[in-house]
Amino acid sequence: MAREYRDSGIEWIGQIPKQWEVNKINRLFSTIGSGTTPTSTDNDAYIGHINWIQSGDLNGSVLEVVKNRISEDTLSKYSALTVYNAPFIIIAMYGASVGNISISTIDGCCNQACCVLCKSNINFKYAFYAIKSSQRYLVYKAVGGGQPNISQNTLKQLWIPVPNLPAQQKITDFLDKVCGEVDEMVALQETMIEELKAYKQSVITEAVTKGLNPNVPMRDSGIDWIGETPEHWDIVPIKYIKGSDKNAFADGPFGSNLKSEHFIENGDVIVIESGNITTGKFIYKDFKTISKEHFETIRRSECKENDVIIAKIGANYGMAGILPLLDKPSVVSGNSLKITLDDNKMINSIFVYLMMSAKWNNGFKGLVQENAQPALSLSGLNNFRMPYAPLPEQRIIASYLDTKCSEIDSLIALKQAKIEELKEYKKSVIYEYVTGKKEVV
């Protein structure tokens, strides 16, 4: 017998089976709460055994571990902190992860960017799936500019479809099985992507340190990460190939010389930051800009077409890229540095970029200042020794790697597209079954 449907009256839900109900979150959960963030100046705040959950910990699935913990003493200092007993549902209310959701299997408290739902009179896992299916709607409801957010009240007033308890369990069992299978397929694709990335880096390292001719005589470079190189190649420090200008090898301005208030929309000069450097060869990304007047005060950090730009500070330190021809002048910021190469040294910027990529893959031991935030040492990098092939070979190697890496990148893109397809399929399956569009048979 065909199912009969009725309009739920709720925009994101649409039609539901005639015998199903809809209900608000605040009627389905007796405890709805949030938390706060202990002050960062309290050095002992994050030393303890009580799990402290942030929106970045939420993974869209089961939450079993968090990055930070707080002490009993810290807990007692903040009235807004409550330890919630597992299991509970936790939802991100702020930022890029708004609407993201997890089921926590560990006791813990949270920051103000999360909302906790516990003590329900509905199948807990079904509620998780139903709220998860509303994420697009929640994102649509998010307000704010640079920091979109949903309020706790928005979550309390969220309507979800509610079949009877046997149906909730049946749907949950089915979705656990299907989503588990999809997650396994996604994990397999992610593993293959990591293997392809590792292969790409090994291809780059092999080509820029060994060349492409396996029959040439080799000699020991005396450098661990390089090993043997062709006998007719040289080993030179970066300072040998940089331009003669005193600012040919320079980092960006620090402190008051370049701050956030100096950035303006559609300014005359582009600022290259470490975040602009990705895994691509050329640097293209949402650039910030400054005025021409301010540029004059930091001109020593100016960079030009074909300069090699290197991230100096942060998670991507050592990652490099090549500056393409831009439609405006540009400077590097304080978290980056630039190398302008000496044309007379017969060096190809793509070859240097590839060499930095190979070194990045092999680590920057000896070139990093180990502070609170790792940073490349400018003097250490100045003396960084690299293989130096004749210019014709550099060009041949660069051309070979351009083709080879493009092939690998295409395979990675296919795997990534498959992941997105699987994720969309998972979302659609959850939506179709928690709203009753499809029936578990």
Could you tell me which of 230, 236, 267 has the C-alpha nearest to residue 346?
236
What's the token pair of residue 260?
């956030």
The mean per-residue pLDDT over the stretch 187-208 comes to 95
pLDDT recorded at residue 189: 98
CB distance 330 to 323 below 8 Å: yes
The label of the residue with tokens 């902190």 reads 81
Asked whether residue 406 is assigned to any structural domain, the reply reads no
% of the chain exceeding 70 in pLDDT: 94
DSSP symbol at 4: P
Asked whether residue 49 is assigned to any structural domain, the reply reads yes
Asked whether residue 175 is assigned to any structural domain, the reply reads no
Asked whether residue 306 is assigned to any structural domain, the reply reads yes
Helix axes 124-133, 391-434, angle to 10 degrees: 120
The mean per-residue pLDDT over the stretch 155-184 comes to 96
Could you tell me which of 276, 314, 318, 269 has the C-alpha nearest to residue 290?
269
Range from 242-251, 323-332, 401-410 carrying the lowest mean pLDDT: 242-251
Are 53 and 154 part of one and the same domain? Answer: yes
90 pLDDT tier (thresholds 50, 70, 90): very high
Domain count, the chain: 2
Asked whether residue 428 is assigned to any structural domain, the reply reads no
Sequence-ordered strand ranges (E) for 25-61: 29-33, 50-53
Are 140 and 274 part of one and the same domain? Answer: no
Q: Using one digit for the tens of pLDDT, what is the confidence trace for 286-295?
A: 788 999 999 8
Q: Is the pLDDT of residue 208 over 80?
A: yes
CATH number of the domain within which 312 lies:
3.90.220.20
CB distance 32 to 156 below 8 Å: yes
- Better-predicted residue by pLDDT, 413 or 284: 413
Of 127, 144, 163, which one is at a domain's C-terminal end?
A: 163
pLDDT recorded at residue 121: 87
Are 9 and 146 part of one and the same domain? Answer: yes
How far is the C-alpha of 377 from the C-alpha of 367, rounded, in Å?
5
Are 245 and 122 part of one and the same domain? Answer: no
- Give the number of other CB atoms < 10 A from CB of residue 428: 13
pLDDT recorded at residue 38: 87
Q: What is the DSSP string of 44-78?
A: TTT-SSEEEE-GGG--SSEE---SEEE-HHHHHH-
Are 243 and 323 part of one and the same domain? Answer: yes
Q: Is the pLDDT of residue 372 over 60?
A: no
Are 123 and 265 part of one and the same domain? Answer: no
pLDDT recorded at residue 383: 85
Structural domain boundaries enclosing 300: 234-388
Are 153 and 294 part of one and the same domain? Answer: no
AA letter at 124: F
How far is the C-alpha of 311 from the C-alpha of 317, rounded, in Å?
5
How far is the C-alpha of 308 from the C-alpha of 328, rounded, in Å?
17
CB distance 65 to 107 below 8 Å: no
Q: Is the pLDDT of residue 194 over 80?
A: yes
CB distance 339 to 352 below 8 Å: yes
The mean per-residue pLDDT over the stretch 57-70 comes to 91
43 pLDDT tier (thresholds 50, 70, 90): low
**Three-state DSSP class for 76?**
helix
pLDDT recorded at residue 440: 93
42 pLDDT tier (thresholds 50, 70, 90): low
Are 127 and 15 part of one and the same domain? Answer: yes
- Better-predicted residue by pLDDT, 154 or 368: 154
Of 134, 163, 192, which one is at a domain's C-terminal end?
A: 163
Which alpha helices (DSSP H) does 8-123 contain, by range? 25-28, 72-77
435 pLDDT tier (thresholds 50, 70, 90): very high
Asked whether residue 229 is assigned to any structural domain, the reply reads no
**Three-state DSSP class for 272?**
strand
Are 115 and 246 part of one and the same domain? Answer: no
365 pLDDT tier (thresholds 50, 70, 90): low
Are 261 and 372 part of one and the same domain? Answer: yes
Q: Using one digit for the tens of pLDDT, what is the confidence trace for 108-164?
A: 999 999 999 998 889 999 999 999 999 988 888 877 656 678 889 999 999 999 999
Of 111, 128, 163, which one is at a domain's C-terminal end?
A: 163
Are 151 and 279 part of one and the same domain? Answer: no
How far is the C-alpha of 253 from the C-alpha of 232, rounded, in Å?
40
Are 138 and 273 part of one and the same domain? Answer: no
Residue 143, classified by CB atoms within 10 Å of its CB into exposed (0-12), middle (13-18) or buried (19+), is exposed
Asked whether residue 19 is assigned to any structural domain, the reply reads yes
Q: Which of 35-39, 174-178, 256-260, 304-308 has the highest mean pLDDT?
A: 174-178
Asked whether residue 99 is assigned to any structural domain, the reply reads yes
How far is the C-alpha of 345 from the C-alpha of 227, rounded, in Å?
24
pTM beyond 0.85: no
The mean per-residue pLDDT over the stretch 292-315 comes to 87
